[in-house]
Every structure is written in structure tokens, then in C-alpha cells.
Amino acid sequence: PENGVEVAEIKVPAYTHSTTDVKIKPVDNLHRKESESSKLEKVLENLQDHISKNPLEEKAKTYDIGTGRKVVGSFVDSFEGHANADVSDTYYSVSIDRINNVLRPEFTIENLSWNLTPVDYNELRNGSNYLTLPLLNGDEYALEIRNSESNISVMPRTTHTFDYHGYMIITPSFDNWKSTKSRPDLLINKNNEFDSIKHQKKPHQTHRSNWNDWQTHWSGHSKVEFEKDDSDLLGHPVINRKL
């Protein structure tokens, strides 16, 4: 359909005696969904870019540069990424705080080395490149079931047993290891905001261009804003939540 998305093909026979007589064949419309989503994302990105840069451009045009001087042209950057910069330049050494939209100097990030003292950590097992707790093993538990009437010890059966599938929770839930010498795998580069990772010549320099990535590298960040809206008819303030 032109104004909808085809979900499935349903074949209903002339005489339907049961729901099993109805045949449903899902339609693979993933490609269409992706194309429509990409169009919508493009519109939202253009709108966001216009909203962020329009006040800057207006401020640059109305900026007072002195008597007898005239603003011929202006260049503005909202510092949402490295799209407006020549990241391939040898002297390009800045980092951008994409959360607060601030241009900052380049920084250096390194993994801290550590040494193991066996005296203080007797319970740890040192492998080639990793540390583990002691691995314990033992015999299977055998439970004796005593019949009160016959006084015969009965061992639990070892056949026709059931497997139990459960869940294991690890704390912390993720590792904090990070490579500081290799180039990160760049999967999404919207509006060329991560061009510094893509185009900088030396791989280790790609870790110096995105400010605060030592906190947001693994889990990202969430942004929730609350603002007051006094336009309520009853006179009570209304809190709008923006995600």
C-alpha cells in the first residue's frame, strides 16, 4: 500500500473451521522500514542542525566589530562533532565535548599499569594475561533417602534427570578494559561527527578528540531535561519532560 506498510499475507479459505486453517506469511519489509527511517532521521538531523546553528549565525551577523567595519561573511560551528574541521591536518589537535557543545584542547588517555603482590592477594590465581579466583571442584552430591518403614537407604537416580537453565549476574556487568593504541571500529558516523576517528592518520590520536569518552565509551549517556511551562489554564506549573 502507498500509505502504509505491508506486514503479512493472510490466506483465509472459503470455509474456515479452525484458526489453523488460516495461513499467515510475514512480509519482509525490513528494507522499506530502513529507508523510511533513514528519511525521517535525515529530516530530524537537518532540523536539529538548523535549530543549533541559526542562533549562532544570527549572533555572528549582529555582532558589533567596531565603527566603520562591516561583517561580510561569517563561519559558525555548534561543536557537535568534527564535521566542519580538517581532521587530516597535521596540526589539528582539539577535542570536542559533544554533550555540552564545547571546544576543548586535545587530551591524552592511557591505560594504567599495575603489579600483583602475591602476599596481599593469596586468593587470586595469576594466569598468563588474566587474574581469576580459585576454581573449586568436587564430587557430585549424593543424598541418601531413608525409608522409615524398611530402613533401606535409597540413592538418588542418575537417569531421567532434568537440566536447569538459569541466569547468572556478574558485577560489574562489563569490563573496563579499553585499547588506547588501535583505531576504534566506527559503525555509525552521522553528520560526519566522528571524522576524527575515521581520517586521522595515527590510530592513537583518535582517542584524544572526543572529550569525556573515558566515561561514555562503554555505556553512552542519557540526557533528561525538565523545564517549567506556566501556560496551564489552571495556573499550576506543568513539567514537560524532554528525552
Specify if 44 maps to a domain: yes
Specify if 120 maps to a domain: no
The answer for 87, left when phi > 0, alpha when psi is -120 to 50, beta otherwise, is alpha
Residue range(s) defining the domain that contains residue 27: 8-61
Write out pLDDT tens, residues 133-190.
Answer: 766 655 555 555 555 555 556 666 667 777 777 777 777 666 667 778 888 888 888 7
Residues 6+ apart with CB under 8 A from 189: 195, 197, 198
Specify if 53 maps to a domain: yes
Percentage helix, strand, coil for the chain under 3-state DSSP, each rounded to 5: 20, 15, 65
Specify if 41 maps to a domain: yes
Q: 10 Å Cβ neighbour count for 98?
A: 19
Write out pLDDT tens, residues 47-78.
Answer: 766 666 677 777 777 778 888 787 777 778 88
β-sheet bridge partners, residue 239: 228
Specify if 129 maps to a domain: no
* Domain total of the chain: 1
Specify if 87 maps to a domain: no
Specify if 21 maps to a domain: yes
Specify if 174 maps to a domain: no
Measured in Å, how far apart are the chain's first and last C-alpha atoms? 32
Q: How confident is the model at residue 104 (pLDDT cuts 50, 70, 90)?
A: very high
More confident residue, 40 or 9: 9
